[in-house]
Structure 1
Amino acid sequence: MSKVTEIVESLSLPILEQLQLELVDIEYVKEGPNWFLRLYVDKDTGVDIEECGIVSERLSEKLDEVDPITHPYFLEVSSPGAERPLKKPEHFQKAIGKHVHIKTYEPIDNEKVFEGKLISFDGNELTVEYKVKTRAKTVTIPLEKVAKARLAVTFS
């Protein structure tokens, strides 16, 4: 995590706790000539635009006080959406039984991308049930080998 995202996390957590929101992710990225500071927040019932606005206002005040970013940037606060990233152990725990998309740093069973149902997570390994054509397969993926993970929307 970069120093900016660490500072933003420490500034945002008390605000989010007060509003009973979860911090899903923070991005601090340059896109073209512009810098963006993005916070993704959520709660079990979903987050609305009004809540995002409150977080944005309160966090903006704190950022102005601390001033950890010396150049212009855009602050965006939003929901992570239906395909929310899975980064923290608690994210994986909540995703058990749901459809997930996992990319690994290196091949496991000659594959680097797995999409299927997250069967279990023990804190160190994920077990995913996925299909290859019509055959159901199960793979166990060590958490340290996960490059990216997110919920995946399925259409029946």
Structure 2
Amino acid sequence: MGKRESYVERTEKFLAELQREKQFEVVDVDYVREAGTWYLRILCDMPGGIGIEDCAEISRAVSAWLDREDFIPDEYILEVSSPGLSRSLKKEKDLVREKGKDVELKLFKPLDGQKEFSGVLLGHTAETVTLQSEEGERTFQRSEIAGIRLAPKF
């Protein structure tokens, strides 16, 4: 396991305890380098939506824990925020929760000359994801999918 994965895993363990206390859901945790700066990014949600004050409260708790544990030697920025309207669907629970909703799916390589598809998420297995679009039902191999996110309607 690389440093990124170990930082994410350790942070997720702490958040599992914190979310029971504060009643929020951890949507995603990532440790990434962007434009030369490291970010520990935590996306959270709550029933009815999460607000700025909720994110600030979670951020303060995580920041205090990170200061105590001091296991990330790099300089980094802690970000705690909402996943937004077009949230990524990365985990099994995301695909279960968002079944029947409009999604956008992006492939690593073009399929029939196309890398991006949209439609209603019909279902999934360990190996596949199935969408219903105007063109009909289409099943994609998970190994070919670069990302899936909710498609917000305005």
- Per mean C-alpha deviation after superposition, the further-off stretch among 93-102 and 1-10 is 1-10
Is the alpha carbon distance of 1:78 and 1:97 closer, same or farther for their aligned partners in structure 2, counting shifts above 3 Å? same
Q: Percent identity?
A: 34
Please list, as runs of the form range in 1=range in 2, the aligned pairs for 1:6-155 lying within 5 A after superposition: 6-108=9-111, 111-131=114-134, 136-155=135-154
- Per mean C-alpha deviation after superposition, the further-off stretch among 96-105 and 116-125 is 116-125
Is the alpha carbon distance of 1:20 and 1:123 closer, same or farther for their aligned partners in structure 2, counting shifts above 3 Å? farther
AA at the equivalent of 1:28: Y
* Unaligned runs of at least 5 residues, structure 1: none
Q: Distance in 2 between matches of 1:124 and 1:71?
A: 36
Per-residue deviation at 1:55?
A: 0.8
* Superposed CA offset, 1:123-144 (max 9, x none): 543210123xxxx321012333
CA RMSD of aligned residues (A): 1.8
How many residue pairs were aligned? 151
TM normalised by structure 1 equals 0.86
Q: Distance in 2 between matches of 1:102 and 1:153?
A: 13
Q: Distance in 1 between matches of 2:139 and 2:34?
A: 35
* Unaligned runs of at least 5 residues, structure 2: none
* Superposed CA offset, 1:90-146 (max 9, x none): 101111111101112344455432111112234543210123xxxx32101233332
Task: Indicate conservation of the 8 Å contact 1:27/1:38, yes or no.
Answer: yes
Is the alpha carbon distance of 1:93 and 1:109 closer, same or farther for their aligned partners in structure 2, counting shifts above 3 Å? farther
AA at the equivalent of 1:19: K
